[in-house]
Every structure is written in structure tokens, then in C-alpha cells.
Structure 1
Amino acid sequence: MTELWVQRTGPRRYTGHSSRGAQVLIGSEDVEGVFTPGELLKIALAACSGMSTDLPLSRRLGDDYEATVRVSGDADRENEVYPRIDEVLEVDLSALEPEALQRLLVVVERAVDRVCTVGRTLKAGTEVKLTIDADGA
């Protein structure tokens, strides 16, 4: 199983790590060159949706198709939640006949609903438990 962790690198700055060697810079909005945790949440959702659509789209459009998933959603700072996150999958489907297009749209939406773990988790809600491992405690 891949291990994940973040390490503090300065005031309001962290680096996220995976045991596979990946890194991501994390910080607050006033820090240049980093993602905020909320931005990472939205990027994770967009990436999951994109990856979930990869197989059905590549079957119909070929392996070299281009796609972009844009994601947005403002935080409700009073309650510290994102009440809504919107995604837009941008892909050129103009070469498809209307009937084939409609079938593909259904297949793509079903793929996201069935296999996008991040989206399914957000929609279902999940229990989060924090344990503090303090030296000397």
C-alpha cells in the first residue's frame, strides 16, 4: 500500500509525499507556487473523473484524444465546507453522430458514477478520524 504524508516546511507550507516518490507543495492562498488543501481536493475530484472516463472515451475517440476537466467551487468560510463543486469535462465529440454521442454521454456519466472513488466518497460522506501522536504524551 502506498504511504502518504505531509511534512511542514515553513509557516503555512507543507510538502505532500507518497512512498512512490511523488511530491506536491501545499500551503495557504497567500503562498506562491503551492496548492491549498481545498484546491487539491478539487483537483483530486477532477483527476478521478477524468481517469474514470478515460477508457470509454479512448475506445470511441482513440488513445490520443484530448480532454480537460475544469473544477470549481467556493468555500463557505462560515461553515468551512465546500457546499458545491462543479466539474466540466471538455472533450471534442463533434465527429460523433447524434445517437452515438448520446450513448457515449450516458456511458461516460455512468463510468464516473461507478468508479470515481473521490466523487463517490464526497457524495457519500466519510468518517475522518485524527489521532495525535505526540512525543512524551
Structure 2
Amino acid sequence: MSEDSPRLVTVERTGTGRFTATNARGGTIDFGTGDGTAFTPVELLLAAIGGCTAADVDVATGRHAEPVAFTVTVSGNKVNDEGGNRLTDLTVAFSVAFPQGTGGDRARTILPRAVAVSHDRLCTVSRTIEAGTPVAVSVEAGTVTG
């Protein structure tokens, strides 16, 4: 898939408050509105932010050493104000440990730079959020019946 190619996910309702997202390669993920243990859309957004930058950092540091621990925690506050529902105070915190030795030392050295480059340039998810990309919403003709 080209870096400039369109991305597509289809979301289908599978029950009350339950949905399945399917990507163009056939992968699926179930989510819901907060009943039970299924991820909510907001939690999926947080996971996308963390997952995107984690993947970038893993590639950069993994060239030097396999981490012995690698956790990314993403958090934010959901608010409802004059602007509507949204997240504020988004944070991404890395906790990564590498083994002793030359490779681990090199991975530790480049970790802060890898995190910064992902945030500032590479991570499509957080870059899109920070750019404030507009979202167009429509209802396809013929879908409203009754």
C-alpha cells in the first residue's frame, strides 16, 4: 500500500451498542458504547494514538535491541463544553526498558529522539489530530426509508 493511498474502514452495527470495524485487508475489531469490556470509540482513538507512535518507536529502537519491557499509556479527559464532546489534555507516556549492553545502550540513547520524531513528523494519527483535520459527514441517498 502506497504511503499516499486512501485508507478505508467500514463500520457495521452488530447489535444494540455493538459494532465491528473491518479494514481493507479483512481485519476486524469489535467495539461498543461502553457496556461490557469492549473498547469504546474514544478508547480506540487513544489506542490508535499510542499504537501509531509505539510502532514508530519500536522500529527505530528495535534495530538496536529487543526491549525487555515496552508500555505506552495514553490518557485524556473527556469534556462536554460549548464546543461539544471532546478530549483534552492528551498525553502519551512511554515506559521502555532495554537489556544491558551496547545494543541496549544505543536503544536507550535514541529513545527520546524516536519518540519526538514520531510525535513531530511520523505518527499519522496524532499529526492528524493536532492539525485539526476537518471530518466531513454525510448520509448516502436512498439510505433513509420509512
Q: Shared fold (TM-score greater than 0.5)?
A: yes
Query: 1:93: how far off?
Result: 4.5
C-alpha distance in structure 2 between counterparts of 1:84 and 1:125, whole Å: 15
Partner of 1:129: 136
Partner of 1:81: 86
Q: Which runs of 5+ in 2 are unaligned?
A: 1-5
Letter in 2 for 1:48: C
Partner of 1:36: 40
1:50 aligns with 2:50: no
C-alpha RMSD of matched pairs (Å): 2.5
Q: Report matched runs for 1:1-40 at 5 Å.
A: 3-29=8-34, 31-40=35-44
Specify whether residues 125 and 136 from structure 1 end up closer, same or farther in structure 2 by C-alpha distance, changes over 3 A only.
closer
TM-score normalised by structure 1 residue count? 0.82
Query: 1:66: how far off?
Result: 3.8
What secondary structure, in the 3-state scheme, does the structure 2 residue paired with 1:67 have?
strand
Specify whether residues 101 and 80 from structure 1 end up closer, same or farther in structure 2 by C-alpha distance, changes over 3 A only.
same
Specify whether residues 10 and 124 from structure 1 end up closer, same or farther in structure 2 by C-alpha distance, changes over 3 A only.
same
Specify whether residues 13 and 110 from structure 1 end up closer, same or farther in structure 2 by C-alpha distance, changes over 3 A only.
same
Specify whether residues 33 and 103 from structure 1 end up closer, same or farther in structure 2 by C-alpha distance, changes over 3 A only.
closer
C-alpha distance in structure 2 between counterparts of 1:103 and 1:57, whole Å: 7
Query: 1:86: how far off?
Result: 1.1
C-alpha distance in structure 2 between counterparts of 1:131 and 1:49, whole Å: 30
CA displacement 1:36-84 (0-9 Å, x = unmatched): 110010000000010111222112324x654111111120033301012
Letter in 2 for 1:40: L
Equivalent pairs: percent with the same residue? 30
Specify whether residues 132 and 106 from structure 1 end up closer, same or farther in structure 2 by C-alpha distance, changes over 3 A only.
same
C-alpha distance in structure 1 between counterparts of 2:107 and 2:56, whole Å: 19
Higher strand share: 2
Q: Is the 8 A contact 1:56 1:108 kept in 2?
A: no
